[in-house]
Amino acid sequence: EDKVVQSPLSLVVHEGDTVTLNCSYEVTNFRSLLWYKQEKKAPTFLFMLTSSGIEKKSGRLSSILDKKELFSILNITATQTGDSAVYLCAVLNYGGATNKLIFGTGTLLAVQP
């Protein structure tokens, strides 16, 4: 059965800290891994990673994929209270007629002032 596992389940840090969120997966027909940020409403897209070892970066956020070990990390440096959210990892199962995202349960990040 396809699965995506995220850790930790929740995390509390202080502003300015650096955090690392983990995502491991076992998915048939792996195509890409995606990270989303979910605040009070719908998930919003952060990154899509398809190749191993190539870091994607956007401001204080960065992410990398290891297709051999089947995991990805999302780093956030110099955290701010606005980074508080649930971070979702999803793997794209893509093959034939299939084109669907399989989500992990998320990591709840709380950044305290």
Partner 1 sequence: DAGVIQSPRHEVTEMGQEVTLRCKPISGHNSLFWYRQTMMRGLELLIYFNNNVPIDDSGMPEDRFSAKMPNASFSTLKIQPSEPRDSAVYFCASSLAGRGSYNEQFFGPGTRLTVL
Let me know: does 33 contact 90? Beta carbons within 8 Å.
yes
- Name the segment binding partner 1 (CB under 8 A); options: 13-21, 68-76, 77-85, 92-100: 92-100
Nearer to partner 1, 46 or 70 (CB): 46
CA 101: distance to chain centroid? 13
54 vs 52: CA distance, rounded Å: 6
Applying CB under 8 A, among 74, 76, 85, 102 the residue interacting with partner 1 is: 102
100 beta partners: 93
Let me know: does 106 contact 86? Beta carbons within 8 Å.
yes
- Name the segment binding partner 1 (CB under 8 A); options: 12-20, 39-47, 56-64, 74-82: 39-47
- Name the segment binding partner 1 (CB under 8 A); options: 12-20, 62-70, 76-84, 85-93: 85-93
Shortest distance in whole angstroms from residue 85 CB to partner 1:
14
Size of the chain in residues: 113
What is the torsional sign of CA 100, 31, 3, 84?
negative
Contacts to partner 1 by CB under 8 A: 31-32, 41-45, 48, 88, 90, 92, 94, 97-106
